[in-house]
Amino acid sequence: MSFPDVRMRRLRRTEALRRMCRETVLRRDDLILPLFVVEGSGVREPVASMPGVHRHSVDTLVNELKEVHDLGIPGVILFGIPTDKDARGSGADAADGIVQRAVEAAKRAEPGLCVITDVCLCEYTDHGHCGVLDGEQVENDPSVERLAATAVSHARAGADVVAPSDMMDGRVAAIRAALDADGHRDVAILSYAAKFASAFYGPFRDAAESTPAFGDRRAYQMDPPNAREALREMRLDLAEGADALMVKPALPYLDVLAAARREFDLPLAAYHVSGEYAMLKAAAERGWLDGERAMAEALLAIKRAGADWILTYAAKEIAPTL
């Protein structure tokens, strides 16, 4: 059968027919909103490079979480930004640290929200790397110890899911063991398993004050040309006990996400990162794109490629349209 017997436009003719044929549907349940938490009170500070995104203090965060809950968004991921930083990222696992206090407040205010915490040292170290240093090298195994302690401190504060974003080898197994040993067998691990040394993190680093003081993250984050290596990383993290796996960034790595969807059955997350978000906002501000349509299309592409969970700064703006 072919044209003129086959006419593909027959099923595109009306909105009703297009709705009936829609293969991919983005849902509110797919969305996770990243949030930045800083010290202080009454803080709701816009992030210049990310229109619509703010840095919150714990008290204003609670208001934001009520909006998130009322919009039907199921979860958030919290990034703590401490005032004091040091070489070993001491604030990362402090029982009274900024993100620990934010988790406690979040679970108290909105117990129905899934609270995920980013487990990394980069926001807490004065050198901005994701681990502890020996000279200018990020030392893997000592960093893993710090990351495991950090994850335990988040679980003690009430986190539902911990998400190691550091890309150290062996950290998922170490975090799983540390959580279980501390009585947190039910706290899940979302591993940033395939996380690339991407140019798309710039706005985040501005917002989180986490730009490396020297060098870059290529010695631990993945090299962008490598898709097979990403699947190896994901297999290793699954074997170490990850409950969900992430590909990050999202749009520049949809091939990796689709390959992961073909191979893995567990939940797959994709992080629509700060640069992906900011570039659409900038084009829309200049009138070069219909920003709402372009953002919706970008998130739909991530869902169509296989993501179950989409971490996106656009969660609040897109939710009312779903």
Q: Is there binding between residue 205 and ligand PB1 (CB under 6 A)?
A: yes
Single out the catalytic residue among 195, 281, 303, 316.
Answer: 195
Instruction: Give Cα 117 to chain centroid, integer Å.
Output: 9
188 part of the interface to ligand PB1, by CB under 6 A: no
Strands (E), the chain: 31-38, 44-46, 54-56, 75-81, 114-119, 132-134, 137-139, 161-164, 188-195, 244-248, 268-272, 309-312
Using CB under 6 A as the binding rule, whether residue 312 contacts ligand PB1 is answered as no
Amino acid at 44: R
Q: With CB under 6 A, what is the number of residues at the site for ligand PB1?
A: 12
54 counts as binding ligand PB1 under rule CB under 6 A: no
Alpha-carbon distance 238 to 313, whole Å? 27
Annotated active-site residue in 248, 281, 303, 316: 248
113's tokens:
């929200």
Work out whether 187 is an interface residue with ligand PB1 (CB under 6 A): no
The pair of structure tokens assigned to 304 is 């169509």
Strands 137-139 and 132-134, by their bridges, are antiparallel
User: x/- binding map, residues 273-292, to ligand PB1, per CB under 6 A?
Assistant: xx------------------
Q: Which is nearer to ligand PB1, 57 or 312 (CB)?
A: 312
303 labelled catalytic: no
Beta bridge pairs of residue 117: 78, 162
Among 64, 93, 118, 160, binds ligand PB1 (CB under 6 A): 118
SS3 154: helix
CA distance 318 to 55: 20
Q: Does 253 bind ligand PB1 (CB under 6 A)?
A: no
Residue in 144, 210, 270, 280 binding ligand PB1, rule: CB under 6 A: 210
Q: Which stretch binds ligand PB1 (CB under 6 A): 67-75, 115-123, 258-266, 290-298?
A: 115-123
Tell me the DSSP string of 69-97: HHTT--EEEEEEE-S--BTT-GGGG-TT-
Is 316 tagged catalytic? no
Contact track, ligand PB1, 147-186, x by CB under 6 A: ------------------x---------------------
Catalytic residues: 195, 248
* Contact set with ligand PB1 (CB under 6 A): 118, 120, 122, 130, 165, 201, 204-205, 210, 217, 273-274
